[in-house]
Amino acid sequence: MTQELVFLAFAALIALCSMMVILSRNAVVSAIYLVGDLFSLAGLYASMDAHFVAAIQVLVYAGAIVVLFMFVIMLLNLGPDQRQHLQVSAPEVGVLALTIIGFLVVGGMLLLGQPTGVTGPLTAEAIENAGGNTYTVGMVLFTKYLWPFELASMLILLAIIAAIVIAKKEQNKDGDTRRLAHG
């Protein structure tokens, strides 16, 4: 019963922080809410006894990736006039997205039914017999999901490079005569 309450508390905190990431008008504030979202997700993992995944969540995502996002946000250096051009009606878009996601989740639960337990090759007993949670996560991540893992890292790198190129082109349009290669 207590574990279910902790799970529900973290799930509610995740939903709240995710909604604030969408609804926030300032990119830095959105990134801070994203940190709260990722820490809540780590707490959710920890409540399900996946302590290694929780630690990796905090170290990799809440630590490194959000710092990288902040670096790109600061590199773009959007002024107040540029922010106004990027803004859409955030509350309406957030409510619409939340409504669609809610309908998809409820519809999926109604169509598929409630899960009754974990079956298949990765049950709790099979994980313990295989060497524990950390070993099993590592084996699955670097065998079955190696290409999606590498693709995600390349996609993040490509997005960062694209943001830098776009920021440099905008600086050159504003009267800065430096070439892109010279920096």
How much is the pLDDT for 39? 92
Assess whether pLDDT exceeds 70 at residue 3. Answer: yes
How much is the pLDDT for 143? 87
Assess whether pLDDT exceeds 80 at residue 174. Answer: no
Contact between 50 and 135 (Cβ < 8 Å) = no
Residue-wise pLDDT tens digits, 12-43: 899 999 988 888 888 888 889 999 999 999 99
Residue-wise pLDDT tens digits, 119-171: 566 666 776 776 666 777 777 778 888 888 888 888 888 877 877 777 776 66
Ordered by start, the domain boundaries in the chain are: 1-77
- How does DSSP assign 69-117, residue by residue? HHHHHHHH---HHHHHHH---HHHHHHHHHHHHHHHHHHHHHHH-----
Provide CATH code, domain 1-77.
Answer: 1.20.120.1200
List for the chain the helix, strand, coil content (%; round to 5): 80, 0, 20
Residue-wise pLDDT tens digits, 36-66: 999 999 998 888 878 888 888 888 888 888 8
Assess whether pLDDT exceeds 70 at residue 180. Answer: no
Comparing 109 with 3, the larger pLDDT belongs to: 3
pLDDT level of residue 93 (50, 70, 90 thresholds)? low
How much is the pLDDT for 117? 56
How much is the pLDDT for 40? 92
